[in-house]
Amino acid sequence: MNTETTAAPVAKRVPAERTHHGDTVIDDYAWLATKDDPETIAYLTAENSFTEQSTARLGTLRETLFNETKGRTKETDLSVPTRKNGYWYYTRTVEGQQYGIHCRRAAQDGETDPPMPDDGTPIPGEQILLDGNALAEGHDFFSMGAFDISPDGRWLAYSTDFDGDERFTLRVKDLSTDEVLDDEVPDTFYGSAWSADGSTLFYLTVDESWRPYRVWRHVVGTAADTDEIVYQEDDERFWVGVELTRSEKFILIDAHSKVTSEVRVIPAANPTGAPAVIAPRRQGVDYSVEHHGHRFLILHNDGAEDFALAYTSADAPGDWVPMIDHAPGTRLEAVDAFANHIVVSLRTAGLTGIQVLPVGSTEAYDIDFPEPLYSVGLDSNPEYQTNSIRLHYASLITPDSIFDYDLVTRTMALRKRKPVLGDFDPAGYEQHRDWALADDGTRVPISLVCRAGTPRDGSAPCVLYGYGSYEASMDPWFSIPRLSLLDRGVVFAVVHIRGGGEMGRRWYETGKMLSKKNTFTDFVAAARHVVKAGWTSTDRLVARGGSAGGLLMGAVANLAPDAFAGIVAQVPFVDPLNSILDPSLPLTVTEWEEWGNPLADPEVYAYMKSYSPYENVAPVDYPAILAVTSLNDTRVLYHEPAKWIARLRATAPQGSYLLKTEMGAGHGGPSGRYNSWKEEAFVAAWILDRFGIAV
């Protein structure tokens, strides 16, 4: 194979000047932000060609990795059916098809576990609700936003995106006739809710900054231009969501910023009613609402850093009556109400958990799980009148598993474990919890997985993954594509750095705003630790992260370029200062409570400038860097990694930098399972090449 490549593209320099708080900065590559400029597209296309030529020798390895994932995956499969109002709902996948097929069939009297063949044979009485493959036909990209069935089972509200920009077109399908109505609403957002009688659909639209800010009311069978605004949020820090409670009694309208929330309710039986506020917003008070009988359950942080549970009257919301007191170190994350039980999702000591409080009892109990590292949470549980809940469970070595837990007998039954074809045996792998020591003495947890018997002498290659923002927790998860790395001797490690939520609300608070650098130094400390502990060596360590985790990658590249042999930054937020200084860009104002407001505060400006990857590129020896982005990404705009790579090439030209742009996708990369596997194979092959592994 010809491995010769052309020279890397050189981005022209068109200096753009900006001054804030007396500081003037020159941005040579600001022109790349003009998406509709032919020169921008030509430059990105040239970068793609250069990346393809530079990695052409890895083509066979990429194909091998793709085929390994494909060969381990049961391509024709079936989700565990979920019962709701007389129907079993499920999704099928078919070998050779990119997308799932959403189906239902009527439940028979007394049927608790319907026969559902997963070998592709026809299922008697099946009704296809939506076939993603048919919807995607003729489009390079396809994603679904809403998929919402009315309480009476007649109407399906669904929305589609064919560009990756997360602007969805909403439609309504009559499931009694399989007819898609003329009702069509463009430019909607995720989230919807039905009235109790199915006559009215609530949905969301965004403003020019891609912030969901309006809730609309649509009467089925009418034109979209007759829809009415139910609620509009004018504070640009706040996003809005809408949903129907599990009890199907109330429409919830949730307005929330990064640190403050306010919830309104509309009786589902009176969809034209005015929204009523549960509790007026107070800066810094974050609460969520769940309906349960005569009361609303309130999960809140008012005087409770790791949250507490209370309730208030559903008829006349007022004072909050305590139910579960605040317990420092145990972060209450969600509450789900069922007729006879309240279920709380929580985390403690870095692990997720489930706590059950039977109605009429003051004694809550925890559900036990066997592994030292795992992730557990509620799965699909649409029925309110039930004594059983469905759980999703996984670990670094246990494939995704669906359990039904009997809340009365306190017993658990495995319904399905994701098949892994071939010779996969969990006993052939090990998972470990290790701890790094940060510069300030904080112990930072690390979750690791590797083949059983992997030596601890520094000879094993390692991928170190991190995120560390928005209180998002990177809990242990199972991955079929990851097996291809593990089976080649690679250790995979997840660093649970500050800025995430793994160790409670304070873990988040000490990794944001003017403490954001803790996120980066925690990751570097973990990189040093895995080397010192013998898991790997510096020249066999590759860091990986995406989105805000891509900011992490850019920051640690500047902070400790000697600590890594390679860095993968996917849809990376590497130009945060320039982006957050521009309120016209998507998400900027809502982000000020996460990063600070550099427009208004010179201290925030100086602090962000001191860690922003793009601002701090230096003439040093960087590790090899692969940046992957998408042209239609509305969360992290494509020009951030494009500018970053251009500046790296100009400032430290001795390094190896690649940029790959998906020209028809969004924040999540290419759509369709096979396309996603190919994308992962591309990244994995690049990583293995850094380790000198070519087969």
Query: Which residues are part of the catalytic machinery?
Result: 547, 633, 667
Phi, psi torsion values for 330, nearest 5 degrees: -115, 105
> How far is the CA of 180 from the CAs of 135, 155, 368, 672, in angstroms?
12, 10, 46, 24
**Considering only CA atoms, which of 270, 244, 267 is closest in space to residue 151?**
244
> CA-CA distance, 656 to 274, in Å (whole number)?
59
Tokens 């590559």 sit at which residue? 29
> How far is the CA of 502 from the CAs of 325, 390, 505, in angstroms?
20, 23, 8
> How far is the CA of 564 from the CAs of 306, 438, 519, in angstroms?
35, 18, 17
Q: For residue 604, give the amino acid letter.
A: V
Write out the H or E segment, with its range, that includes residue 347: strand 341-348
> CA-CA distance, 267 to 184, in Å (whole number)?
25
3-state DSSP helix/strand/coil percent for the chain, to nearest 5? 20, 35, 45
Residue 141 tokens, joined: 């990209």
Provide long-range contacts, Cβ within 8 A and 24+ apart, for 28-35.
Answer: 28/646, 28/647, 28/650, 29/639, 29/642, 29/643, 29/646, 29/647, 30/578, 30/643, 32/639, 32/642, 32/643, 32/646, 33/637, 33/639, 33/643, 35/631, 35/638, 35/639
Are 141 and 149 contacting, i.e. CB atoms less than 8 angstroms apart? Answer: no
Rg (CA), the chain: 25
> CA-CA distance, 580 to 318, in Å (whole number)?
38
β-sheet with 239-244: strand ranges across: 239-244, 250-256, 261-267, 276-277
Are 265 and 275 contacting, i.e. CB atoms less than 8 angstroms apart? Answer: yes
> CA-CA distance, 311 to 288, in Å (whole number)?
11
Residues 6+ apart with CB under 8 A from 535: 434, 448, 456, 458, 460, 462, 491, 493
**Considering only CA atoms, which of 257, 648, 690 is closest in space to residue 463?**
690
Write the burial class of residue 158 (CB in 10 Å: 0-12 exposed, 13-18 middle, 19+ buried).
buried
Provide long-range contacts, Cβ within 8 A and 24+ apart, for 12-19.
Answer: 12/39, 13/650, 18/578, 18/581
> CA-CA distance, 568 to 466, in Å (whole number)?
11
Are 390 and 82 contacting, i.e. CB atoms less than 8 angstroms apart? Answer: yes
> CA-CA distance, 114 to 10, in Å (whole number)?
61
Q: What is the DSSP string of 568-636?
A: EEES----HHHHHT-TTSTTHHHHHHHH--TTT-HHHHHHHHHH-TGGG--SS-PPEEEEEEETT-SSS
> How far is the CA of 553 from the CAs of 54, 70, 121, 543, in angstroms?
22, 29, 46, 7
> CA-CA distance, 511 to 468, in Å (whole number)?
7
